[in-house]
Amino acid sequence: MTRPKTRTDIRTVAFDADDTLWHHQNLFEETQEKFRALLRPYHPDAWINENLHDTEMRNLRHFGYGVKGFMLSMVETAIQLTEGRIQGSEIQKILDLGKDMLERPVELMPGVAQVLATLAQQFELMVITKGDLFDQETKLARSGLGAHFSTIEVVSEKNAATYAAILKRHSIGPAHFLMVGNSLKSDIEPVLQIGGRAVHIPYELQWSHDQVEGMSANTHDYFEITALSELPGLLKKIDDKP
């Protein structure tokens, strides 16, 4: 379908998936609380949190992002913090926590289907998300949102080089591209670095790995809104600017 060219010349709008299209971080927070409860006979909560975080960061280069890597990091942390004394039945509980995360129903952000249907009339829509390929493809299928997107990109990391490669592969100029997401580190900074535009929608729960300080929103290239439902109005305002 040929879409009208906007005055600002934004032609492609891409979305992060987790905590932008649907809730996700809340599952990690809920699971981490159950993990702490399992290890409380051995250590206080703060020490469990610190060690799990450190293990996750070390393991990113091995497992990447997503539930499966988180589950393996919980197992490794439990073995280390108990000095190998953790029981097989407790390891099974950790594996079950991970499986429960993978099987949870997809909880969409309010109004997301309506927003995508509206924007699809004017822009090419993409998903650019990081994580486990099978998990992300499965969640997208269960979400019922897939038909709105012309392209789905699941990547191991979201940095300037990743975005530049995606845009080159799909023949999209950075000046015609806008990214929408909840992570300043993954969705906003790298897109601005390659000359694109970005819209930040903060999520109520923020993974510490995604936090960035000192960015100033609502400039020519970088905007911040509080909910996905505000996006069509924002794009119209951008379009109406001379």
Tell me the percentage of the chain whose pLDDT exceeds 70: 88
**Which tens digit of pLDDT belongs to each residue from 205-239?**
565 545 555 555 556 689 999 999 999 999 988 86
Strands 222-224, 197-200: pairing kind: parallel
**Residue boundaries of the structural domains of the chain:** 12-22+107-240, 26-103
Q: Enter the pTM of the model.
A: 0.85
114/213: higher pLDDT: 114
Confidence of residue 140 (pLDDT cuts 50, 70, 90): very high
Average pLDDT value for residue range 120-124: 95
CATH superfamily of 12-22+107-240: HAD superfamily/HAD-like (3.40.50.1000)
pLDDT of residue 13: 98
**Which tens digit of pLDDT belongs to each residue from 10-47?**
999 999 999 999 998 889 899 999 999 999 999 999 99
Radius of gyration over every alpha carbon of the chain, rounded to an integer in angstroms: 19
Average pLDDT value for residue range 101-110: 92
**Which tens digit of pLDDT belongs to each residue from 45-95?**
999 999 999 999 999 889 888 899 999 999 999 999 999 999 999 999 999
CATH of 26-103, one of 3.30.450.20, 3.40.50.2300, 1.10.150.240, 1.10.3720.10: 1.10.150.240
